[in-house]
Amino acid sequence: MAWLGFINLYMTRVNLSVIIVAMVGTSTSTTTHGYCYNYTSTGTTPANEDEVTPFANTPTPDQETKFDWSETIQGLVLGSFSYGYIMTQVVGGRLAERYGAKWVFGVSILSGGVANLLAPTAARLHYGVLIALKVVQGFFQGVTWPSMHACLAHWIPPLERPRFVASVYYATALGTALTLPLCGIIIHTMGWAAAFYITGSFSIMWCFLWFTAMHSKPAQHPRISREELEYIENAIRNSGTSNKRPPCVPWKDIATSLPFWAILFCDLGNSWGISLFKAQLPTFMKNILGFSITMNSFMSALPFLSRYLGAITMSLLSSWILKHGYLSIINTRRVFSAISQLVPAVMMVGLIYTGCNSVATIAIICIALFFNGAVSSGHTVNHLDIAPNFSGTLFGINNTLFSIVAFIVPIVTGMLIDGQQTLDQWRKAFWICVPFYVVGEMFFLFFLSGTVQPWNSSEPDTPALTPLTTTVDTSEIIPNEQDDPK
């Protein structure tokens, strides 16, 4: 259910990035063929045939309203979700910690469905109305990630967290990979408004199942077996998580915790890169590579499918490493975080030099996001290592930072390319990502921790729990094991 929930979450969130391509009239800075076609066909500079995108943009019949929105306005629309999203991150985590994730998570997904049903009407009224609607959607959906993080601390034993995080959390990447081509097909056959209606309806249907089947804690589930309940509760207790209602948040300790700041700095770099691809990749493929709306949606989906596969692969690898005791928790976090940030940084440099070679461009983006999937075993789950009792709150703070970045990136990119849909301007956008990746990762490598912090417990004399690094027998409950659990 959670897996489907995250798919629906991103269906109603990222669909706008491809729908807006069909909503907006052709940019004045390019023709319908895209920059690369224009650049290589004018005779201004010589170009090899294989350097030009092989997928020429072909017009599709569309009698719907087209909006005359500049790239700057498009950036505001694309970033508007994050304006509301930023407001409820910490609140969402705290609500789930105290009252459970069932209603907190469920209502947030429902809000996305309703907002998408209203989106076409809002857009036709004025882009400001659409922005306001997306802000409200973001406000309600800001609770999703932190609430599920709090739920994870109660439901998933430490040894099972890597696979859960990779398969469920990164269902968002799979949701993106499914949504972009689905919207492309719907737009091509039924128009852009239908893409909003259909994706919104999926979320509403999912909510009926969620509210019927979901329970916030294992002890509340009426059909769980006694053996399974005892196994989960014993494993969770040994990981440092309390089944009691958590005490007041130790804000001062959190604010002065270097391990937590390490997570924040690392996620800052990661957020800049992934926000650029989520919000602007379809625009880049249309205006630079010249893809048609259908081809655009499929090509834009490939990198996110690659990211999902990368998350699964890296989580299995990290679990294997921890199970056999080859690396400690802290060194496992270091290795996989470095992979998730430094490989994309190198790929971004490569992306700057691919020019109009669409095959090389897409391949490099896919490689970058495949290895970025290693965040499922890196900094993304480090909150559960250092403070499982406050994991929802910490993730909420973390996602607040992500929200700030997510609405800044489309605006900055929109300003760079406004009226200048050229490779040189897009290269500047790619270059900006590199220092964010590298600097954030360096801070994380120096200051991360793999142990439960003293302020995780309401009892001041409770010692920090140190994870084992010896071989783990998964058939038994291992005390103090903090196995690897966006």
pLDDT of amino acid 259: 93
pLDDT of amino acid 423: 86
pLDDT tens for each residue of 157-166? 776 776 777 7
pLDDT of amino acid 458: 54
**Residue 326: partners with Cβ closer than 8 Å, 6 or more residues away:** none
CA 162: distance to chain centroid? 17
pLDDT of amino acid 256: 92
Residues shown for the chain: 486
303-432-261 Cα angle (round to 5): 90
Residue-range domains of the chain with CATH: 2-35+69-456 (1.20.1250.20)
Nearest by Cα to 329 from 447, 484, 160: 484
Concatenated DSSP letters of 116-162: HHHHHHHHHH-HHHHHHHHHHHHHHHTTHHHHHHHHHHHHS-GGGHH
The b/e string for 341-350 (b: 16+ C-beta within 10 A; e otherwise) is: bbbbbbbbeb
Residue 339 or residue 44, greater confidence = 339
| C-alpha distance across the termini of the chain, in Å | 17
pLDDT of amino acid 285: 86
Give the pLDDT band of residue 35 (cuts 50, 70, 90): low
Q: Please state, in angstroms and rounded to a whole number, the distance separating the CA atoms of residues 452 and 447.
A: 14
Q: Please state, in angstroms and rounded to a whole number, the distance separating the CA atoms of residues 88 and 10.
A: 17
Give the pLDDT band of residue 149 (cuts 50, 70, 90): confident
Whether the CB-CB separation of 468 and 451 falls below 8 Å is answered with no
Whether the CB-CB separation of 75 and 276 falls below 8 Å is answered with no
pLDDT tens for each residue of 381-411? 888 888 888 877 888 888 888 888 887 888 8
Phi, psi of 67 (to 5 degrees): -105, 140
Residue 153 or residue 142, greater confidence = 142
pLDDT of amino acid 47: 41
pLDDT tens for each residue of 345-385? 999 999 888 878 889 999 999 999 999 999 888 888 888 88
pTM of the model: 0.72
